[in-house]
Chains A and B, each alone.
Chain A
Amino acid sequence: EAAVTQSPRNKVAVTGGKVTLSCNQTNNHNNMYWYRQDTGHGLRLIHYSYGAGSTEKGDIPDGYKASRPSQENFSLILELATPSQTSVYFCASGRQGSTEQFFGPGTRLTVL
């Protein structure tokens, strides 16, 4: 059974709308991450978390918020979606003290 799941898997949103991407992990990992991946680029870190209640800015946090209400759940929030946020978003989890990460299946977001 998949340990890192994401929902929705596909999303079409309108410019200016609010979008929430959800991630759930059953690995009992402290660390969780949100990335976006665009064609021709590697994954870029948006936000990450070291545990419930904590969120940290990654390399490209502008236009995104994150929420970690529990060990298992980590959400990425786009308050005012823009077409430049059209991308594939990956969530990952990792053990405390380790870099190794385990990825979810990705969410394809299209902002029209």
Chain B
Amino acid sequence: GDQVEQSPSALSLHEGTGSALRCNFTTTMRAVQWFRKNSRGSLINLFYLASGTKENGRLKSAFDSKERYSTLHIRDAQLEDSGTYFCAAEGTGNYKYVFGAGTRLKVIA
């Protein structure tokens, strides 16, 4: 079935630095959504993309359906950015998601 490979599985960043998270897909996906699970356990919507790029503050996401990947860039990381980041993608056209396993991000002072 459709698979989503998310990397890295864990990441530590110093405040003020940045990095990129990535999801690779085994098949062509129609859309991708990125979430952050915060310290309270809630899932926060970050981006929903059917193509191209979106930016919101210090976060930027890109989705390339043809090349089968999506990225989430974080710049100027802050302590409150810590959490687990998930990507989810729709592959089979039935409005169901396949989730990546998540990236545990820890921002340290």
Contact = CB atoms under 8 A, between A and B. Distances in A.
A65 interface: no
Contacts of B48: 99-100
Nearest to B48: A100
Interface residues of A, number: 25
Interface in A18-75: 31, 33, 35, 37, 40-45, 48, 58
A101 B90 CA distance: 11
A108 B41 contact: yes
B42 A106 contact: yes
Size category of the B interface is 20 to 34
A29 to B, nearest CB: 11
Contact of A99 (B6, B35, B37, B95): B95
Interface of A: 31, 33, 35, 37, 40-45, 48, 58, 88, 90, 94, 97-103, 105-106, 108
The 4 lowest CB-CB distance pairs between A and B, nearest first, are A42-B99, A99-B90, A103-B43, A100-B48
Chain A CB count within 10 A is highest, among B31, B37, B43, B100, for: B43
Interface in B16-46: 30-31, 33, 35, 37, 40-43, 45
B101 A40 contact: yes
From DSSP, what is the main secondary structure of chain B's interface residues?
strand
Contacts of B42: 103, 105-106
B72 interface: no
B74 interface: no
